[in-house]
Amino acid sequence: MNESYWQKTSQHPCFKQLNKDIKTDILIIGGGLSGISCAYQLKETDKQITVVEKDLLGCHTSGCTTAKITLLQDLIYQKLVKHYNIETAYLYY
């Protein structure tokens, strides 16, 4: 498999392996784009947040993407439905 630009150029921080039971308020399983984004959004709460990852952060699915987050995707679907139909929007999805 080809290695993405992000995988080639990123420096991954190293963390100690979790080898004991811990108490946490929120457990996020997976340190990809979604997991890290979720933890980031929750960091201002008074909850203890723990992210666990079996390998390197951002290494698997997120590491093979362009690491782009978009909030405008919904607009594309609206335009497809308006100009074509719901089935075309679903095919695009």
What is the full per-residue pLDDT of the chain (93 aa) written as tens digits?
A: 567 777 778 777 788 889 999 999 999 999 888 899 999 999 999 999 999 998 878 777 766 766 566 666 778 888 999 999 999 988 887
Q: Which of 19, 11, 7, 1 is nearest to 67 (CA)?
A: 7
- Cβ neighbours of residue 36 closer than 8 Å, sequence gap 6 or more: 51, 57, 58
